Amino acid sequence: MTTVDPQSLDNTYDDAAHRTPLVLGGLDYEGVTDTACGFWEANSAPKVWWILLGLAISLLMLLGGLIQHLLFSGVGVWGNNNPAYWGWPIVNFVFWVGIGHAGTLISAILFLFRQNWRTSINRAAEAMTIFAVVCAGTFPGIHIGRVWVFYWLFPIPTEHLAMWPNFRSPLLWDVFAVSTYATVSLLFWYMGMVPDIATFRDRSKSKIGKIIYGLLSLGWTGSARNWHRYEIAYTLLAALATPLVLSVHTIVSFDFAVSQVPGWHTTIFPPYFVAGAIFSGFAMVVTLLVPARELLGLKELITLRHLENMNKIIMATGLMVGTAYGIEFFIAWYSGVTWEAFAFWNRAFGNYWWAYWIMVSCNVLIPQLFWFKWCRTTPWFMVIVCIFVNIGMWFERFVITITSLCRDFLPSSWAYFAPTWVDLGMLVGSFGLFFTLFLLFCRFMPVIAMAEVKGIMPRDHH
Amino acid sequence: MHETRPAKITSPIVSLSDGYVRTIPSALIVAAIGLVLSLILSGGTERFLYVYLTNFAFLLSICLGCLFFVIIMFLTRAGWSVTLRRIAELYAMCTLPLAILFLPILITVLSGSDVLYPWVNGGWSIHNSDGALAHLPADQLPPLEQLKAAFLSPGFFSVRWIAYFAVWGTLAAFFLFTSLRQDKEGGIQLTHRMQAIAAPALIVFAATVVFASFDLEMSLEPFWFSTMFPVYFFAGGVLSALATITLTALWLQRTGRVTDEITTEHYHDMGKLMFGFVVFWGYIAFSQFLLIWYANIPEETFWYDLRINKNGWKTLSYVLLIGHLFIPFLAMMGRTVRRNKNIMFGATIYLLVMHWLDHFWLVMPHYNHAPGGHVRGLATTSFLTMIGDVACTVAMVAAFIAIFCLVARTRPLVPLQDPRLGEALNHEVH
Amino acid sequence: MAEKSSNESKEQKLVGLLAQFDDPETLVHACNEARESGYIKMDAYSPFPVHGIDPAIGIKRSILPLIVLSIALGAVVLGMGLQLYANGQDTAWPFPGYKFLISGKPIFSIPANIPVTFEIIVLSSAFATFFGMWILNKLPRLSNPLHRVSRFKRVTNDKFFLLLESADEKFNRSGSESQLKGWGAVSIDEVNQDLTDNELPKWLTTVGILGAILLMLPPAAIFSQWGQTNRHPRLHVVPDMDWQHKSKTQTVAANLSNELDGVRMMYNDLRSARRPVDGAIALGSLDIDSELNYGIKSDFAYTITSGGNALTGVAGSQGEKKEDTGAITVPAEQENIEKYVTTFPENFELTQEVLDRGQQRFEIYCAACHGYAGAGNGLVNQRAMALAATGGATWTSARSLHDVDVKDDAKNPVGRIYDTITNGRNNMGPYKAQIPVNDRWAIVAYVKALQETGIQSDTPVVEDK
C-alpha cells in the first residue's frame, strides 16, 4: 500500500480540462480493497468506537425503556394534547424519514445521472437511510396506541375483523410508502453489497466470518454474465427507487397537505418536502462521514471533493427549501384567505416564533456559509453547519406540525403544546438506535462500495 | 475497445449559413399572414389575444427551459452535453427578442382593457353564480384582495415584466457571449467563470420564473392560487426545452450542418432526460390536482371544476393526462426508442404539441370568463375558430423561427473550444 | 503451473482452465481472442464490471427488464383491484369488502387510489428485479469448484480471470493452456470439481429432520385443539379492552374482578358509584310514583324494568328507594292485568282543561291512525290499508277504540291504556319520548270519554269520574 502524501489529499481544485481523481493517495485496486477493509480487518476496534458504541447503546436502552413505559401507561405520557394530537412522535417520524432520503438519492438518482463521486459514499449513505427509516418507523408505530394490533394497518383478509383499511386515507398511503421504501432500500443496499461481502468472504480469516459472509455473499464469483445481469438489475432498481424516493416524502407531505388545516394545505408541499428531505439527509451523511472517514481511515476514498459536492447539494436544496418558504408566504398573502394569512403570520410572530426563527436561520441562513470555499472544504466546520441544518430541519417539522394544529380555525380550540420528558427522551433515544446500528455497520459490513470505486478508477492507473 | 476521438471538432465549422439568414423575411411573412388570418377567423381581438397568450407562454417556457439547461449544465460541470449546449444557449438568447412578442399583451393591459386579465381596472371582473360578469371595484374588495390589487396592477405588472426580461436577457447573453468568446480564444478560465456564475444565476432564474408564471398564467384567474404553479410551469418548460434542443439537433444533422459531434448516445441521454421530465411533469400535475381535489376547498376547486366539468374542457383534460403522461411514459421507456433518430424526431414534435395543449388548457378556459357573456367552451368552438387558433400558432412559431435564425446567424452551432469537448465527443451510454 | 488439488484420492472431474490476468484490458483482449478462436462455454471473472466485456464473450442482453415490465403491469391490476375489492364493493364473498363513505369522496375514487397503486407497482417491480436477477444468475450457489482455487480469492480484490470450460467443443487440455498463455495469462489453474461436493454433510440431514419435527409441533398442538371446548378462560396476551378497569352503574363492581386481580371495589361501601353528597337536589323528575308514571299499582312496582321510562330517566337511577327494582330484569311473561291501575292516579287531577288538552294531544298523536272519533280509520290507516290491499305494504290495522275488548274496563283498565301509550303495543310504537306523563293521562281520559259517547258522536262528551 502506498504511503499517503498529505499534499495529495486535496482534490477540491477546479480544473475544467481534467476530471478530478476521486481516489487519492495513489491507490491501486488492491490499495482500495486494503483501505476499505482496514477497519474491519483490524483485530480490535479502537477505543473511540467502543466508547461511542457504549454511549449509543445506553441511549438505545433509554428508548427501549421509554417505549415500555409508553406501552404500559398509554400515550398520555407524551405531551400530545387536544388539538395537537400529532405531537413530537410525528415530528420525529418526519424528521427521520427525511434523513432516510439521502442514501437512496445518492445511490439511485446520482447513479442515473452518472455522478461518479457517489461511489465511495453511497454504501454508508444507504446504510444510514435504512437505519433512519427504522428510527422513523418506530414513531408512528408506537403512536398508533395499541401497538399489538398494528396489523390492522395492512389489508389482511380476516374473518373476525371483517374490515379493511381505508385506502383513501393518506395515513394508509404512508404505511404503504414507508414500508415499500424500507423494503426496496434494503434490497438495493444488500444487492449493492453482495460483491463486497464476497470480498470479505475471501479475506476473512475466522471460520465464523467465512461462513457468515459466505452465506451472505450467495456464492458471488464476479462472473461477467453475473455482472451483466447485476448491472441491469442495479439500473432497474435505481430507476424504481428514484420515483419511490420522491413518492415517500411526497406522501408524507400528503399527510398534511390533503387536509384543510391552514398552513398545511398548500400545493407546493410535495416537492418542498422532497427538497427538505434531501437537504436534511445530505446534512446527516456529512455529519456521519466526516468523523467516520477519520475513524475508519478512509480519507483517500472519501475525499474532500466528495464532501464539497455534498455541501453544494446541501446549499442548493437549502435554497430550494428557502424558496418554498418564500412562495408559501407570498401565496398566503396573495390568496386573500384569512386563515392562511394568519397561519403564516402566527408561525413567524405567534407563540412559536422562536421555533420558526430557529428553522429559518438554520435552514436558510447558515447553509449560505457554503458559498465560501473554505467553509465547504473544512471538515470540522462543515460538520457544525450540518448539525445546524439537522436542528433546523427538525424544527421545520415541529413548526409545520405544531403551529398549525395549535392555531386552527376556531380560537376556542387553540392550545399550547409542551413536550414531556418522555418526548425528549424518545427523541434522544432514537439517536441511540440510529448510532448503534451505524457503528455496528461500520465495524462488520463493507462501508465502501469497493467494486464500484474500482469501476470508476482511471484505466491507465497501472 | 472503441477508439478515443480527439478532443476537437474535426468537421468544418458548422453554422446556419447565409441562406438561412435570408429565410428570416419569409418566416416573417408567414407570421404576418398567420396573424391576420387568425384575427379574422377569431372574430375579433378577444379570442385572438387568448390564443396569442397561449402561444407566447408556450414559446417563453421553451426559452426559459433552455436557459435552465445551460445553467444546470455549468452548475453540474457536465461534460457529455457540451456539443448540445450551444443550441440551448441560442434558444435561451431568444428570450430577449421574445419581449417584442410580449408587447401586444402588455399594451392590452396598459390600455386598461380587462379582456385578458380581470384585475386590470383596479377592481376585478368576476363571474356571478349565474355566469354573468360583474365588475367589483377596488374599494369593494376584501382587505387582502385590496392589497393584491396593488400587486396585480398594470403599472407594477409592466415593471415586473421589464425586470424579468432584463434578468433573462442578461443571463442568456452572458452565457452565449462568454461561450462564443471561448470559441475564438479558448481558455479554461472562461468555463470557470461561467461555472461560478451558474449558481447565483440559478437563484435569480428561480425567483423570476416563479413570479413570471404567477403573472402570466395564474393571474388570469386572480382569485385562484396554488403554490405549486411555478413548478408546474417550470416542469413543462424544461420538458419542451429538451424536446426542442433534440429536435433542433436532429434537424441540423439531417441538413448536414452538424455531423458526428452529436451521436446516438446524446439522443439516448436526452431521451432519458425527457422521460424523466415527463414523469416529473406528471408528478407535479397529479400532486397539484390531488391536493386540491382531496381538500375540496371552493376557492381552489373551481379552477379544476372549470377544466373538468364545464364546456367540454374535460376532453382536453383527459387528452393531457393520457397524451402528456401515459403515452410518452410508456413509449419512451425503452432504449430502442431513445436510440432511434426517426422515432425521436416524431417523439419530440409530439411532446411539443402536448406542451402547447398544456398551455392551451391553462389559458383558454378563462376565455369564458372574459367580458361578453355567453359560454364559449371547447365543445362549442367552431371549426373556423380552430383554424384561426392554428393560424395564430403557425404565425407565432414562424416568428420564433425568424428570431432563432436572427440569433443564430453564422454562429457556430457547437462550442468549438470547450475544455470538456473531448468528453462529449467520446460520450457513451453504458 | 497448474495447481494440484490437495485430495487426489477423491473422485474429481475437470471443469476447465482458469487463467489469471492482471488488468482488465488484457482480460477483454483474451476474451475476444477466445471468442474468435471458437470458444463458446467460457466466462470471465472480475472484481468489478469490466467495460466492453459483454460483446467480447458474447453475452446477449438479459430479458430481466421485460420480466420486470410484465410484473409491473400486473401490479397495476393488483393494486387497483385490491382497493376496488376492499373499499369499492361489499359483495358477500367469504372475505367481503367494506364500502364506506369518507370525506365525501366517491366509494371508489381513482385519484385517491393512485398512491397505493404506485407503491404496489414499485414494490412488485423491485422484488421482480431483485429475485429475477438472482434466479437468472443461478445464485445463491454456495458450492462452486472455483472457490477451491486459492488464487481465485483475488477475484474480489484486484485480479481478473478467464475460465475456459472443459465442456466446450474447442477445449483441449494442453492446447487451451498454451492459447491462454499466448493471450497474456499470468498463471493458469485447473479447476476440478470434487464430486462429493454435492453431497450434504450427514449431520446436516439429522439436524434438518429434527428441526422439521420440532417445527411441526406447534401447528400440531394447535390442530389437536381444533373444535375443542375448554372451561378455562381465554388466554389474554394483551388485556386490550376485554378487561377494562371500569365499573357499570348500580352494580357491585362485578366486572372489576377477575382471576388475576381479585375483587376490587371502587369505593369502600362496595359501590361502584359515589353516593350523592348530603343535601343534593335531584335533577330531572322523580318517578317513584309508579301509578302516575307507569300506570302500575305500587304493589307491582318491582315489575317495572330499568328501561321503563325514557323521558324521565332510567327508573331506579334516583337511587335509594328503588335500588332493587333497577337491577332486576323481569323476563317476558304472560301479561298480568292485575298490576295496572283501574282508576286515574291520585296525583293526576282531571279537569275540563285537562280533557281539552287530552283531545288536542289525541288529535295530534293518535288520530292519524285511530281517527278523530277513535274508530281506527285515521288517514294513515286508510292509506296503508289501501296499499296493503294491492300488496304494496304490510299493515296491521289500527284498533278501533270502540271495540268491546278495548272498552272493557276489566280487560283494559286505564293503567293499561296508559301503558299502551307509553310503551306501545303490537305495531304501535311507544310515545313516552314524545308525550309527557300528564299529557298521556289526559289522552287516556279523552279516550275513555270517546268510548263513553260511542262512535256516532263527533263532539266529545265530558264526563267527570
Question: Beta-carbon neighbour count of residue C458 at 10 Å?
Answer: 8
Residue-wise pLDDT tens digits, A180-227: 999 999 999 999 999 999 999 999 989 999 999 999 999 899 999 999
Give the chain A residue nearest B294 (alpha carbons). A258
Alpha carbons C35 and C39: distance in angstroms, whole number? 5
Contact B419, B188 (CB under 8 A): yes
Torsion of CA C207, C213, C218, C222, to 10 degrees: 170
Mean pLDDT of A261-284: 92
Residue-wise pLDDT tens digits, A229-252: 999 999 999 989 999 999 999 999
Question: Across the interface, do C28 and B296 touch by the CB < 8 Å criterion?
Answer: no
pTM score, two decimals?
0.81
| Minimal CA separation from B3 to chain A, in Å | 14
Mean pLDDT of A248-273: 92
* Per-chain mean pLDDT for chain A: 89
Among the residue ranges A394-403, B376-385, C320-329, the one predicted with the least confidence is: C320-329
Question: Across the interface, do C115 and A173 touch by the CB < 8 Å criterion?
Answer: yes
Question: Across the interface, do B283 and A324 touch by the CB < 8 Å criterion?
Answer: no
| Chain B residues close to C104, C-beta within 8 Å | 296
| Chain B residues close to C112, C-beta within 8 Å | 290, 294
Alpha carbons A104 and A181: distance in angstroms, whole number? 9
**What CATH number did the domain enclosing A357 receive?**
1.20.1630.10
The most confident of the ranges A338-342, C101-105, C357-361, C459-463 is C357-361
| A151 lies in some domain | yes
Contact A397, A30 (CB under 8 A): no
Alpha carbons B360 and C370: distance in angstroms, whole number? 69
Contact C57, C35 (CB under 8 A): yes
pLDDT score for B126: 62
Decide if pLDDT at C321 tops 50: no
Mean pLDDT of B7-27: 73
Other chains touching C, judged by 3 or more CB pairs under 8 Å: A, B
Decide if pLDDT at A8 tops 80: no
Please report, for chain B, the start and end positions of each structural domain, with discontinuous segments joined by +: 20-425
pLDDT score for C270: 67
Choose among C51, C52, C112: nearest Cβ to B294.
C112
Mutate to test the interface with B, among C25, C51, C62 (most CBs of B within 10 A): C51
Give the chain B residue nearest A328 (alpha carbons). B227
Mean pLDDT of B239-265: 89
User: Please, which pLDDT band fits residue A9 given cuts at 50, 70 and 90?
Assistant: low
Q: How many residues does chain A have?
A: 462
Print burial letters for C53-88: b (CB count within 10 Å at least 16), e (below 16): bbebbebeebebbebbbebbeebeeebbebbbbbbb
C256 burial level (CB within 10 Å; 0-12, 13-18, 19+): buried
User: What is the secondary structure of C165-231 as a DSSP string?
Assistant: ETTSTT--HHHHHHHHHHTT-SEEEEEEEEGGGGSPPHHHHHHHHHHHHHHHHHHHHHHHTTT---S
Mean pLDDT of C98-103: 82
pLDDT score for B372: 42
Complete domains list, chain C, with CATH = 9-197 (no CATH), 286-465 (1.10.760.10)
Task: Name the H helices within B217-263.
Answer: 229-254
Decide if C28 touches B, using CB distance below 8 A.
yes
Decide if pLDDT at C5 tops 80: no
Mutate to test the interface with A, among C139, C144, C150, C160 (most CBs of A within 10 A): C139
Mean pLDDT of C25-52: 90
Give the chain B residue nearest C118 (alpha carbons). B283
C-alpha grid cell for residue C428? 304501535
A369 burial level (CB within 10 Å; 0-12, 13-18, 19+): middle
| A18 lies in some domain | no
Alpha carbons B423 and B297: distance in angstroms, whole number? 52
Note the ipTM here.
0.92
Tell me which of C46 and C285 has the higher pLDDT: C46
Residue-wise pLDDT tens digits, C412-457: 899 999 999 998 888 888 998 889 888 999 999 999 999 888 765 4
Torsion of CA C259, C262, C263, C267, to 10 degrees: -140
| A12 lies in some domain | no
Strands C12-21 and C187-194: antiparallel
Q: Among C265, C259, C273, C268, which residue's Cα sits nearest to residue C245?
A: C265
Whether a cis peptide bond, with omega within 30° of 0, leads into B230 is no
Alpha carbons A432 and A138: distance in angstroms, whole number? 13
| A21 lies in some domain | no
pLDDT score for A459: 63
Q: Which residue has the cell 421589464?
A: B162
Alpha carbons A292 and A311: distance in angstroms, whole number? 17
pLDDT score for C268: 67
Alpha carbon distances (Å) from B28 to B19, B394, C304: 15, 11, 100
In terms of residue numbers, what domain contains A83?
Answer: 27-461
The pLDDT > 70 percentage for chain C reads 80
pLDDT score for B134: 65
Residue-wise pLDDT tens digits, B105-128: 999 999 988 788 888 877 766 655
The pLDDT > 90 percentage for chain C reads 26
Contact C273, C249 (CB under 8 A): yes
Decide if pLDDT at A2 tops 80: no
Decide if pLDDT at A139 tops 70: yes
Print burial letters for A201-221: b (CB count within 10 Å at least 16), e (below 16): bbbbeeeeeeebbbebbbbbb
Decide if pLDDT at C242 tops 90: no
| A421 lies in some domain | yes
Give the chain C residue nearest A191 (alpha carbons). C130
Mean pLDDT of C251-262: 50
Decide if pLDDT at A253 tops 90: yes
Which strands sit side by side in the sheet containing C160-165, from one edge to the other? Answer: C42-45, C160-165, C12-21, C187-194
The most confident of the ranges A4-13, A444-453, C329-338 is A444-453
Q: What is the DSSP-derived secondary structure letter of residue B6?
A: P
The most confident of the ranges A145-154, A160-169, A422-431, C320-329 is A422-431
pLDDT score for A16: 66
Contact C97, C86 (CB under 8 A): yes
User: What is the secondary structure of C14-78 as a DSSP string?
Assistant: EEEEEEEESSHHHHHHHHHHHHHTT--SEEEE-SSPPTTHHHHTTPPPPSHHHHHHHHHHHHHHH
Count of domains observed in chain A: 1
Decide if pLDDT at B209 tops 60: yes
Alpha carbons A449 and A197: distance in angstroms, whole number? 10
Residue C157, C-beta contacts closer than 8 angstroms, at least 6 positions apart: A29, A30, A33, A199, A202, A203, C47
pLDDT score for B94: 94
Q: E strands within A85-141?
A: none
Decide if pLDDT at C332 tops 60: no
Mean pLDDT of A411-430: 92
Residue-wise pLDDT tens digits, A62-110: 999 999 999 888 888 999 988 888 889 999 999 999 999 888 888 888 8
User: Please, which pLDDT band fits residue A445 given cuts at 50, 70 and 90?
Assistant: very high
Decide if C59 touches B, using CB distance below 8 A.
no
Alpha carbons B340 and C125: distance in angstroms, whole number? 26
Q: Among C25, C125, C134, C149, which residue's Cα sits nearest to residue C66?
A: C125
Decide if B286 touches C, using CB distance below 8 A.
yes
Q: What is the DSSP-derived secondary structure letter of residue C330?
A: P
User: Please, which pLDDT band fits residue A14 given cuts at 50, 70 and 90?
Assistant: low
Residue-wise pLDDT tens digits, A279-322: 999 999 999 999 999 999 888 889 888 999 999 999 999 999 99
Mean pLDDT of B261-281: 91
Alpha carbon distances (Å) from A361 to A95, A154, A358, A389: 17, 41, 5, 9
Question: Across the strands, what pairs with A223?
Answer: C45
Return phi, psi of residue A6, to 5°.
-60, -30
Other chains touching B, judged by 3 or more CB pairs under 8 Å: A, C
Decide if pLDDT at C171 tops 50: yes
Mutate to test the interface with C, among B283, B294, B333 (most CBs of C within 10 A): B294
